[in-house]
Amino acid sequence: MSAAIIDGKRIAAGIKEELKALISAVPQEERPGLAVVLAGDDPASAVYVGQKEKSCNEIGIHSFMHRLPGTAAQGDIIELVEKLNGDPKVHGILVQLPLPNGLDSDQVIATIRPDKDVDGFHAVNAGKLWTGGDAIVPCTPMGIMALLDSTGVDLKGMDAVVIGRSNIVGKPISALLLSRHCTVTICHSRTRNLPSVVRRADVVVAAIGKPNFVTGDMIKPGAIVIDVGINRVGGKLAGDVEFASASEKASWITPVPGGVGPMTIVMLMKNTLQLAGVLK
Ligand code: GUN
C-alpha cells in the first residue's frame, strides 16, 4: 500500500482564507490583536515567531512583538505578561517556549489571563479540555484534528497511540482523540516495548522530537500516521516518522514539512479570532 498524503499546507491555506474573509468584515480599530513574547535567541523559536508574525499580517490580525534578551529576569517577563493582560488591544498572549534556562515557564503561563491564553496552556484551559468544558484548545492538537477530519475517516472506536506526553501536544491531543471515542494509549521514553504498542494503532501521532524514530515496521497496515516532529538534520527538516517506509504501510500520512506545521499557525490565528469574539 502507498499512503495518501494529508496536505496540511493546502488545508491550512483554505482555513486561512476563511479567517481572512471574517476579519475583513471587522473595522480596523476592532481587529483582533495577538501579543507574542520571545525571550532569548533560540534560532528555531525565532523562525516560528517570525512565521506567526507574517501570518498575522497576512490575515489582518494586529501583532505585537515583544523581544526580550536571553538575560531577561523572571520578573521582567511576569511584568510584561501582566501589562498585556490589562491591554484591551491584546486578545491573545503567546509566550514562545522553551524559555531560556533558569526561567520558570509554569509560573509565566499561570500569569496569563485564561481568557487571553491563545495557546490553551493555562491550567484552567487544560482542565476544561479534559472535563469537556469550553476550552481554548492548544494549536497543534487542534490542527491535527482538522487533518484527521480531512480524511473523512470515522475515528470512533479506533485505537490511537500518541508518542510523547508533552503539555503542548501529547496530552491535549490525547484528550481530543478520547473525546472522539478513540481508545487512547500515551507512550513515552519509559514505555516498555514501544514498537509493539505502536503496531496496534489505527491512528499514530508521533510527537517525540526524535528524527525518523517511527519506522514502517511499527505501522499497522492501513493506519493513519500524523508526524508532529520538526527536527533539523544536517540542514534539512526531518519528522519523527521515517516517511519512506511508513508510507508503504499507512493509508494516510502527513509529510514534513507541509503537514502539521502549517496547521499549527493557522489554528493560532483561529484561536486569536475566537478570543477576540470574531469567531464563536
Ligand atoms: N513551542 C513549541 N510549540 C509551541 C507552541 O505551540 N506555543 C508556544 N507558545 N511555544 C511553543
Digit-coded pLDDT (tens) for 105-155 = 999 999 999 999 999 999 999 999 999 989 999 999 999 999 999 999 999
CATH architecture of 27-113: 3-Layer(aba) Sandwich (3.40)
Which triple of cell numbers denotes residue 23?
A: 476579519
Active site residue 96: yes
Does the structure show a pLDDT above 90 at 56? Answer: yes
Residue of minimum CA distance from atom 9 in ligand 1 = 96
- Candidates 88, 78, 49, 37; CA nearest to 275 is 88
Does the structure show a pLDDT above 90 at 185? Answer: yes
Q: How confident is the model at residue 8 (pLDDT cuts 50, 70, 90)?
A: very high
Active site residue 52: yes
**Catalytic residue of the set 16, 52, 171, 220:** 52
What atom in ligand 1 is closest to the CA of residue 45? 1
Q: Where are the domains of the chain?
A: 27-113, 138-261
In tens, the pLDDT along 156-174 reads 999 999 999 999 999 999 9
- Candidates 268, 274, 280; CA nearest to 95 is 268
Fold (CATH) for 138-261: Rossmann fold (3.40.50)
C-alpha to C-alpha distance for 98 and 101, rounded to whole angstroms: 8
Q: What is the pLDDT of residue 1?
A: 67
The answer for residues whose C-beta is within 8 angstroms of residue 57's C-beta and 6 or more apart is 63
The answer for residues whose C-beta is within 8 angstroms of residue 275's C-beta and 6 or more apart is 32, 91, 92, 115, 116, 118, 136
Does the structure show a pLDDT above 80 at 34? Answer: yes
C-alpha to C-alpha distance for 89 and 268, rounded to whole angstroms: 17
What mean pLDDT do residues 217-229 have? 98
C-alpha to C-alpha distance for 137 and 224, rounded to whole angstroms: 22
Q: Is 119 in the pocket of ligand 1 (CB under 6 A)?
A: yes
Active site residue 51: no
Q: What is the pLDDT of residue 212?
A: 98
Q: Is 94 in the pocket of ligand 1 (CB under 6 A)?
A: yes
User: Quick check: do 27-113 and 138-261 share a fold?
Assistant: yes
Q: Is 140 in the pocket of ligand 1 (CB under 6 A)?
A: yes
Q: How confident is the model at residue 280 (pLDDT cuts 50, 70, 90)?
A: confident
Of 36, 53, 94, the residue with max ligand 1 atoms within 8 A of its CB, to mutate for a pocket test, comes to: 94
Residue of minimum CA distance from atom 1 in ligand 1 = 97
Which triple of cell numbers denotes residue 6?
A: 494529508
